Structure 1
């Protein structure tokens, strides 16, 4: 499938080191704040980290001043004067017209105005005014708004002194927003624009992609930009990217967690199945708000690391935000943003480093000034270095168990000696602290030297977006950013280091031992840099064909042979895959067990397809089809989150000329067959690198990669195959080009209303078999529609075996649809199948013209479901791997354990794994599906450019085609939750991956069945808690990289928690638990001393977040669907929450917190303990030997004894079933009053 790779992609790879913590949580904040945080186990995945309509064609070959075509942008735009007054006078366009630069080509549906300026110090800036005519005026704030702002600023001034006392923590910008909301029901409410978040990111492998991230929970992690190599790994967990240069086919089983939010990557129309019983919604994801935002790209990255200080560029990205001369508080900027509903983040790529933030509009100018000081005069004090090295080291430790990261490091090691690809970009305590000390290297001095050399204004591109006039933005930018120094030094250039992989070691077969259970084959070519061909996008053309899933495609053929489950082909457009020295083209295939045995035949199929393309040459019909689809998407594109948008644009400014800032990464401009052929003809077997990933390689690999400990072997390609590939081998008659696409929309007319306009969805059908909610779009006015249905059945949760059969059913259904639905998928009609806790969720969206065809196709295949024995075996074997790969992650195991304790009758992932290992038959599956389809209740929501009459046809088609009976009685779509007894309960278990030192500690406080008002108060509490939590537990105590409080709604039962991801090589989990309690005690004192003004400021910030308008239709649909799928139907929830917020006083907050922390509090600690010296084995011997595989681990919980630190104050849980069987059940509860 074609997947756009977005900057918000989430991989934790060295190529783009996202310092996880910024926007994901902030995004989460906003999503939660805007009412999408219903603890839904089925809801969102990442990271992430996903950007609608963003397909970055990224490279790092051009400097800020000189674009690929040699155009000097400084001559194309206006030059801003250094003096603010002069700047305001020169070329002023006036607040009434607010007209942007006509040279900048934008979408007809884009209401924003753009202006390019270049400051005297060489910094280039793109100003974006998102004022719209609908607002009635094109000026700045109204007089009333200005008066209100002045009053609030006066209040803030009074509070500043109090806040400053608490802001000397030193938290870095990247981890700005880690507070979260964990919705643990069953519904997958991912924003359709960010579907990838559903999977995880960090190592979900499609993990990093997206988990984005936990993403969610941890979602605060900084989405790491996703690489192709990251992707290959994620293939098994089915995470998707869409990129102009990338295509991915897959029917893989999905993990529904959003681990690190992974941000991440957008799943444009991926048919992703979720696994029933594992869909806890931890709402971190893309933001719904229209805050003001800014991003700055420095045209330098990890390629510039000195040889004796690996990871220095990444470390500087951390350190630069720890206070400035003008604003010296280490954590002052983060505290300022959190107070005003904002977030920040940063990432380091190979040749670029990006920083971004967002904040409420009225505080944007002050935020710009605070932020700019980090580039003007950062403090980077010596005392902060050791503390922040620990944060970088924790980030590295979290990344080590990722197969994606391991594979990427291994690939980089194949480059010629001296090429920067061979560097260790991450950095850790050894490279940044211990080794420098041994060699008498002053890291602090070198850090300052690096900053002075590379953080120069003429390397920088800046983008700001706000509801201000362009003149106002120009005045602010000129006034503030002209102070950034320009050292006049030439920008580092690596373009001369060409052909880095033209070595004897490249065209070999590498066998690699993975962490996860997976069979995967990756075939990679290193091509000359392709950025210069962005107008043709040859790799996009090739990936479109290679990643096709229709008849005649590689994947279609391999699926029929039962050799492959998924295929991803293309270039991920990260700095690792595309830079000034080379561009990668890679094809990653997730193999079945049988496919692993025939991996040479699989590779031969790929080479046959490429030879067929080379023989036929580029086809204009194919190019124009791709071009048309991209044109349609661009013409009718929806708006995206400002912080993601400015992040994308500041990188685009480094890559494209002025007129193509907005289009360069999206459109195909010119058909040049010779350019496409030149790239295509290099994809031959003699230049390919083969990597075979499998647990079966264990014991056969005698080499070990230095930084991640990856076990691998290198061997010549088997002689018979090598000789065949050198010959003029025959083509495969089953492989051919795709036919003309019948799903491409041609009718873009907006439909007239056939019923009264409504603000919220209305129920237009209500029968015993189902009901339908409908709302026609009257705001965004685009020719698109969203269709969502929930097919509910009580059969699913009757046994662990039934839950597994349901997972198998949804995955086989998706497998069956992959080929016939693929044409719709690439034509911007997107679908996703989710195995919810209590039913099948079907999501379809895209241009409404051909959308009914896709919906009917899905229902037809559902009605006529069938499976061959071979497909059944293939899917069940892959499902075993998927369950296993979920369980070996400490963070997902911790979640599974916590929900197993709290939710009555929940089947854990271990229960499901055992049921699957016990054996299930095809006959049992077909019998289950027949019974499932015989009795259902169907609930749907249709929104967009569709009439009510057309909408009822969708429900009618489902009912008529499936011909089911109604349920005998109404069925709740949530679990009952146990009532925890008073006291501190501790469940401590051993992690399941012996090679992983990472531990996860969560301290949870149960509140109970509460009102909407109390839920909103808990949101406010977590918002207050997040920054001091990060400051105390991460910055000061250095306990771990992931540190965050979470607002939890577990099947309608409220609670809050604090989570720390740490390492057993550094801390005992009980020490971390005690430190969390120490923090909560200090937090109680902090809120008691909070001034009324400071309290009111935070209330106002949360209200503003809830009042923010949706940026695109998908966000409105997500919020409404969450009400439908949880059967709460409170569509005006935001208004009720805002009303509740206005009624709160500081005493309400303090009293609520004290009540839940007092003697009668209900507290549960869940520790998943990694392997390391501070967590010895049960026999007392140290653990923590580096291991590459966990494939032989027994899937069962090992309960560990409590250390003396907590032994006297906790009640130990050593048998979850026995413990919960004695507890009372709370009634079903919905938060609607």
Structure 2
């Protein structure tokens, strides 16, 4: 509600509109003890945004009609959470907390809790909302973090001026330490899983540790319990065939870390065998967990383990990289409640007080008889277990959560069960992890004439975003971005900043190598990408199944090694690129990078499959396909890509082939895969050209002598949709309990060229905020609403996606077309100044500097992956943007998006819940089809394969031949010898 206008800025949508015009983004979230508001924006608009932001906490309007719409938005979010396993477990834990404890509150909120029940009790909801605001929003209970390019004195002056009028006087923030532990303890709960998995969560209630952050005793324990290297709990569970994954520690959320409790959880993803092994469902794995904890406890706290964690923390902080701006200030603002001022920037990496006594005290709270023990089991076999347990045990409680409506069982952990959990499971494989061979020792920087001592000051840089957490296309802005950084004639002259241009070091049959020595970030890190293309993956569904099994088995075989590397700051990831091969990413600290790369390809070429490993991995991959697209929105996205790609295979067909596979099939496939292969490599970072070439040649030599020419690689294709027809494909939601339907409406443009991408991008910039404001905020069609450009297999398009538990897709499609019709008129009437604001915001986003080396590497890798080799396209787009007129954008919109267009190519995907199936319209040309163009034809795509065979395809846009002089630097003649 605080976003919806203030006395100074009364327009309900003023804040969001201002952000959108200046390349900005905002959000907010509430946790157990705090609410966080955050934004990022172009540098020149920071002052104006801060002024609007400050008014949230001075004089918000909280208008009645706005409030009612936002209640419905919260209700839509709640409906989305109903079929989410994580949300259901979280709700069960809250519902089963001690009576009267703060945890027992219904934290989600929905229409019933926020409006219906209060009104039935005679309460005026807006009055209650304002009362809550006035009793909690006080300056001394707030923390603020601002990141900007201005001098600190200037930022401080802004903050003092704008925020000094925030009301104060309520006293410091509330503390819930006196509430005690939230759960009774010594209880086992069972509930059904939505995704058909088996997961056991063991929770230990620990006292609040927030003031002991510099000791990190809990990190010592989570490091050992969650370790995945040799001798680990996970390795032992895998060897027994009981589990495929383990995660341990205290989650970084105020549900798990707050003033009354720290909740240490161990999540184990069980196999079918693991579910039924031992004394009761899932308890064999829990037995092994307690055996591992006993081993750690008996060995006493080990200083060398803590020293290794400290070394890793220091290394990662010393060489930390820029983060997403909004994420970083959010972390700082919440940290200000906990950390001493001098530790705010470094707290997450600070290990400066070894306290073995505290470690042992915490371990003593992690026993089968511990007061705070709680076990939760989610399983797809809930009904069978329910029937069995109700027959066997008289004290089993079967109840229903009043808000989510799911059934659960509650069983007391009695002395007999405690004894069973304390018994030795028979595994002697568990042990402390080995010393880590991947710890970097050489941190020198290879860029000529530069060293870490000359690197820019990173004293305000936070925890590195990391390869696991970074996302392509992050919305964070680099506050030093200048939209005039690149010459205005760069696009015309073909000039692209050197930092965006890799060198072509080698181009020979079977191997192509790209390289860029980092001269910007100046850190001892390198990113390496490998794309392995083989005709073996080009075939029918069986080839897909074999490729996925091969990659999954490789990941399993590499898991122990990859985990050790990950702890030391090296990331390894593998993934099948559909039918186009396998992608390998290895990145992190440069010093030991070559060791991990060698290990990856050594494992691939000396592939061995053990029967138990095959069984575990096969079950995991099959479950992954069974659970794919359970969420309606993901299902709609998958169906759109399936229809548009003539080479893709339906998941059901792959699943059928997976069920037939045996170990010898995969072994034979590996041989076939390696018999004819092309490897494309990008090395970007702290490696010289000679080192990059040696690294790539070594990896290629490990793969054998089978050669596939670059020109013989298969390329992706995209169907060319017919003009003037409205294509519709309807499918039932996979989860029969799902209340949400989803729609993805796709409008196809032309081949992905700079001008086409720029015009579609401007439409995205212009429609993003009004689309959200109209369809989500005002019309309340659903909680998740998006409009964005889509680059699908070399073709530019535009899509609207929305999920709703209230309306069927046919109705939503009509509202999308109605929005498109209305916005066409808005665009026509848009003042030139407003259009220029949007153009400037778009240019600023395109010229945003990479937050870190990995993000820059991913930008560089994309042109290699799509085989087009057009680097620095963002800068070429900027030059085209400066030429584009409002009329150009209007013409693109009128042709591709306008409901009145005769050339529009539209594909609507409806994923319909059971409750909406009858209400969702059949495509018979009436109003319920969603069409507003009376002259357009509506065709329902019922047979996807037949439709794909009947449609033409766009010509391939890949460049398989080497094009010397096409923009990159060609050094093959210097280095191939």
Distance (whole Å) between structure 2 residues aligned to residue 636 and residue 887 of structure 1: 39
Matched, 1:649 2:321: no
Alignment of 1:711 with 2:407, yes or no, is: yes
Check the 8 A contact 2:287/2:425 in 1, yes or no. Answer: no
Structure-2 residue corresponding to 1:64: none
Q: Given the alignment of the two structures, is residue 580 of structure 1 paired with residue 263 of structure 2, yes or no?
A: no
Q: Does 1:1223 align with 2:951?
A: yes
Residue 492 of structure 1: how far off its partner (Å): 2.0
Whether 2:697 is the aligned partner of 1:956: answer: yes
1:435 equivalent to 2:108? Answer no
Contact 1:464 1:646 in 2 (8 A): yes
Give the distance between the partners of 1:996 and 1:752, measured in 2 at CA. 54
Given candidates 1050, 1062, 1076, the residue that maps to 2:792 is 1050
How far, CA to CA, are the matches of 2:713 and 2:304 in structure 1?
Answer: 52
Cα distance, 1:924 vs structure 2 = 1.5
1:495 to partner: Cα distance: 1.1
User: Gapped runs of 5+ residues in structure 1?
Assistant: 1-318, 1181-1198
CA shift digits 1:1045-1104 (9 cap, x unpaired): 1101110111111112111xx212211110000000001001111122211221111111
- For the 8 Å contact 2:647–2:716, the answer to whether it is kept is yes
The aligned counterpart of 1:200 is none
**From 1066, 1069, 1081, the counterpart of 2:809:** 1069
Aligned to 2:58: 376
Rounded to whole Å, the distance in 2 between the matches of 1:801 and 1:611 is: 46
How far residue 908 of structure 1 moved from its aligned partner, in angstroms, is: 2.2
Match of 2:913 among 1151, 1170, 1174: 1170
3-state DSSP of counterpart to 2:628 = helix
> What is the CA-CA distance between 1:1150 and the residue it aligns to?
0.6
Work out whether 1:1098 is the aligned partner of 2:838: yes
Counterpart for residue 706 of structure 2: 965
1:779 aligns with 2:520: yes
Q: Is the 8 A contact 2:750 2:756 kept in 1?
A: no
- Preserved contact between residue 794 and residue 956 of structure 2 (Cα < 8 Å): yes
Name the residue aligned to 1:1117: 857
Provide, for residues 947-1004 of structure 1, a one-character-per-residue CA deviation record: whole Å limited to 9, x for no partner: 1111111211122111132115624554211111121111111111110011111211
Task: Please say if 1:325 is aligned against 2:68.
Answer: no
Matches within 5 A, 1:799-814: 799-814=540-555
**SS of match in other structure, 1:665:** helix
Distance 2:228 2:813 in 1: 49
Q: Are 2:788 and 2:798, in contact at CA under 8 Å, matched by a contact in 1? A: yes
Aligned to 1:476: 158
- Name which structure has the greater RCO, CA cutoff 8 Å, separation 6+: 1
Q: Which residue of 2 aligns with 1:313?
A: none
Return the alpha-carbon distance in structure 2 between the equivalents of residues 1204 and 915 of structure 1.
Answer: 42
Normalized per residue, which structure has more helix?
Answer: 2
Aligned-pair distance for 1:867?
Answer: 0.8
Cα distance, 1:895 vs structure 2: 1.4
Tell me whether 1:531 sits opposite 2:259 in the alignment.
no
Q: 1:492 to 1:931 in 2, by over 3 A?
A: same
Select 1:409's aligned residue among 87, 91, 101: 91
CA distance in 2 between counterparts of 1:733 and 1:927 reads 34
5+ residue gaps, structure 2: 387-397, 451-496, 960-965, 968-977
**What is the rounded CA distance, in whole Å, between the counterparts of 1:517 and 1:784 in structure 2?**
40
1:674 aligns with 357
Structure 1 969/463 Cα, relative in aligned 2: closer, same or farther at 3 Å?
closer
CA–CA separation in structure 2 for the residues paired with 1:787 and 1:675: 41
Provide closer, same or farther for how the CA distance between residues 939 and 969 of structure 1 changes in structure 2, counting only shifts above 3 A.
Answer: closer
TM-score, scaled to structure 1: 0.70
Alpha-carbon shift at residue 795 of structure 1 (Å): 2.0
Partner of 1:873 in structure 2? Answer: 615
Name 1:554's counterpart in structure 2: 233
In the alignment, structure 1 residue 606 sits paired with structure 2 residue 289 = yes
Partner of 1:640: 323
In the TM superposition, residue 876 of structure 1 has moved relative to its aligned partner by: 1.6
What is the match of residue 894 of structure 2? 1154
**Deviation for aligned residue 1:1201:** 8.3
Superposed, 1:808-1207 pairs within 5 Å as: 808-837=549-578, 838-917=580-659, 919-967=660-708, 970-972=711-713, 974-982=715-723, 983-1063=725-805, 1066-1156=806-896, 1157=898, 1158-1172=901-915, 1174-1176=916-918, 1205-1206=928-929
Distance (Å, rounded) in 1 between the aligned partners of 2:541 and 2:925: 30
Kept after mapping to 1: 8 A contact 2:743/2:803: yes
Over aligned residues, Cα RMSD in angstroms?
Answer: 2.2
Q: CA deviation at 1:725?
A: 4.2
Q: Distance in 2 between matches of 1:760 and 1:1070?
A: 46
Paired residue for 1:345, among 23, 27, 30? 27
Q: Residues 964, 694 of structure 1: CA spacing in aligned structure 2 closer, same or farther, 3 A cutoff?
A: farther
Q: Please give the secondary structure, in 2, of the residue aligned with 1:588.
A: strand
Check whether the contact 2:233–2:288 (CA below 8 A) recurs between aligned residues.
yes
- Where 1:970 maps in the other structure, the secondary structure is helix
Q: Which moved more, 1:1217-1226 or 1:858-867?
A: 1217-1226
Against the structure 1 CA distance between its residues 971 and 349, is the aligned structure 2 distance closer, same or farther, given a 3 Å change threshold?
Answer: farther
For residues 77 and 425 of structure 2, the distance between their equivalents in structure 1, rounded to whole angstroms, comes to: 49
- The 3 A distance-change label for structure 1 pair 1119 and 725 is closer
Residue of 231, 248, 258 corresponding to 1:569? 248
Q: CA distance change for structure 1 residues 1012 and 979 in 2, over 3 Å: closer, same or farther?
A: same
Q: CA deviation at 1:717?
A: 4.3
Secondary structure class of the residue paired with 1:1043: strand
Superposed CA deviations along residues 1129-1163 of structure 1, whole A, max 9, x for unmatched, are 22121221011000011100111111123112111
Structure-1 separation of matches of 2:797 and 2:498? 38
CA–CA distance in structure 1, aligned partners of residues 947 and 627 of structure 2: 27
- Cα distance in 2 for residues equivalent to 1:1115 and 1:868: 37
1:698 lines up with 2:383 in the alignment: yes
- Contact between 2:284 and 2:425, CA under 8 Å: does it hold in 1? no
> Against the structure 1 CA distance between its residues 1177 and 443, is the aligned structure 2 distance closer, same or farther, given a 3 Å change threshold?
closer
**Per-residue deviation, 1:873:** 2.0
1:624 aligned to 2:307? yes
Change (3 A) 1:752 1:444: closer
Give the conservation status (yes or no) of the 8 Å contact 2:513–2:682.
yes
Give deviations 1:658-702, integer Å, cap 9, x for gaps. 111112222111101111111111100113222222111125444
Q: How far did residue 753 of structure 1 move?
A: 4.5
DSSP 3-state at the match of 2:585:
strand
TM-superposed CA distance for 1:572, in Å, is: 0.5
Report the counterpart of residue 42 of structure 1 in structure 2.
Answer: none
- CA gap of 1:730–1:640, structure 2 versus 1, over 3 A, is closer
2:444 match: 749
Q: Is the 8 A contact 1:595 1:602 kept in 2?
A: yes
Cα pair 1:994 1:1170 within 8 Å, conserved: yes
Task: Provide the secondary structure at the position in 1 that maps to 2:147.
Answer: strand
Q: Which residue of 1 aligns with 2:429?
A: 734
Instruction: Describe the superposition over 1:885-925 as per-residue Cα deviations: whole angstroms up to 9, x where unpaired.
Output: 113211121112111211112112232223324x2222211
Distance between the aligned counterparts of 2:740 and 2:198, measured in 1?
24
SS in 2 for 1:574: coil
Determine the structure 1 residue equivalent to 2:189: 510
TM-score under structure 2 normalisation? 0.88
In 1, Cα distance between equivalents of 2:168 and 2:310: 41
Q: Deviations over 1:559-610 (max 9, x none)?
A: 1122111100111121111111111111111111111121322111111110
Preserved contact between residue 612 and residue 731 of structure 1 (Cα < 8 Å):
no
Alignment check: 8 A CA contact 1:519 1:591 kept: yes
1:316 alignment counterpart: none
Output one character per residue of 1:758-788: Cα deviation in whole Å (capped at 9) or x when no partner: 7621010111011110011111111111111
Query: What per-residue deviation string (whole Å, max 9, x for no partner) do you get for residues 806-865 of structure 1?
Result: 111111101001113322221111111111121111111111111111111111101111
CA distance in 2, matches of 1:1230, 1:421: 56
Q: Is contact 2:597-2:699 (8 Å) kept?
A: no
CA shift, 1:1177, in A, is: 8.8
Matched, 1:769 2:510: yes
